[in-house]
Amino acid sequence: MIKTILPGKTIGIIGGGQLGRMLAMSAKEMGYKIAVLDPSDRCCAKIFSDVFIQAEFNDFESVEKLCSLSDVITFEFENIDAASLEKLEKKYNIVQSAEVLRTTQHRYYEKEFARKLDIPTVDYIYVEEDTNVEITKPYLMKTVRFGYDGKGQKKISSSEEVEPQTLLEEFVKLDKEISVVAVKDKDEVNIVAVVENEHRNNILYRSKVPTTATKEQENLAIEYTKRILSNFDYYGVLTVEFFISEGKVIFNEIAPRVHNSGHITMQSATKSQFRAHIEAICGLKVGKIENKETTLYNILGQDLDYYIDVYKNNGGYLHLYEKEPRQDRKIGHINFYGDVILGGEHD
């Protein structure tokens, strides 16, 4: 049974990036104390922490110190050591289990997990060590671990290009991409938002609520997401990405945490993904969440001046993460009510 952790207690966050920052902001607003662990003493979540531990994510003693100071532990990304977390969850209140990390850290395990639940995936070839694989058509080759924002993936069309520890995914005709941001609390699973996403150069560019998917497609994606959560020992927000291809809903990947596309809920939803996550991991009831039409644009380092001008001239809801701007680095986002189409040099 999940423990009830009331405001005034301490929430430990493994990771001090923008997701950790927005989790901390939401928790502080509710009255919680915050402990953060991150390798960088300049991480953007640090300013909202009551306790900050500068350490690598694989530093077991430091992670245990964070746990000992906290009444509940969460993490902002999945690239942390699952074996260490498994040891710690036997002693401390960690409600996003090591089992979930083990599955979502590895693209092959993740795809196999979905298939065992009768959730359709793209066809793929798992390349462990033997790269002697016959290639007769183009594939998208992805490293099985530690890939994000297009890193660790490339298009290949010959056997000579195959690398070990990769997943070769067949290309599908893409109608659209959607993500289901869901939250599991002590009683039930609720949907925070269903979001349509547009990527450019493999980085999320624009998100929109509601989606242009059919109601049947959305309902199927929601049903698949609930099926995943019901088969995980997990509390909090979890996001599942799907392709819509020739009308079919196809599983892409799981993010066992709050998600970039869910930033739209800071304006679209009656309760943001960050507050919903804090409530769920603290053993509180989240309840039903409603959304209204909203558009999100990610802000990359090279586009900051453009979006500042947009904000000055058009308003909106600007969220900057206090991160140093650099090429292709996510440094903020801006939300607008309605279906907003922007144009400019950044396009």
Q: Which residues are annotated as a binding site?
A: 107, 142, 147-153, 169-172, 177, 199, 252-253
* Pair 81, 58: CB distance under 8 Å: yes
Cβ-count burial 8-17 (b if 16+ within 10 Å, e if not): ebbbbbbbbb
CA distance 173 to 164: 26
DSSP-H helix ranges across 105-247:
107-116, 215-230
Q: Which conformational region is residue 146 in: left (phi greater than 0), alpha (psi within -120 to 50 degrees), or beta?
A: left
The token duo for 49 is: 């922490």
Which positions make up the binding site for ATP?
Answer: 107, 142, 147-153, 169-172, 177, 199, 252-253
Q: How many CB atoms lie within 10 A of CB 323?
A: 17
Euclidean distance between the first and the last CA atom of the chain, given in angstroms as a whole number: 49
Q: Is 165 helix (H, G, I), strand (E, B) or coil?
A: coil
Nearest CA to 241 out of 282, 273, 284, 198 is that of: 198
What is the DSSP secondary-structure string of 213-231? Answer: S-HHHHHHHHHHHHHHHHT
Phi, psi angles (nearest 5°) of residue 196: -95, 135
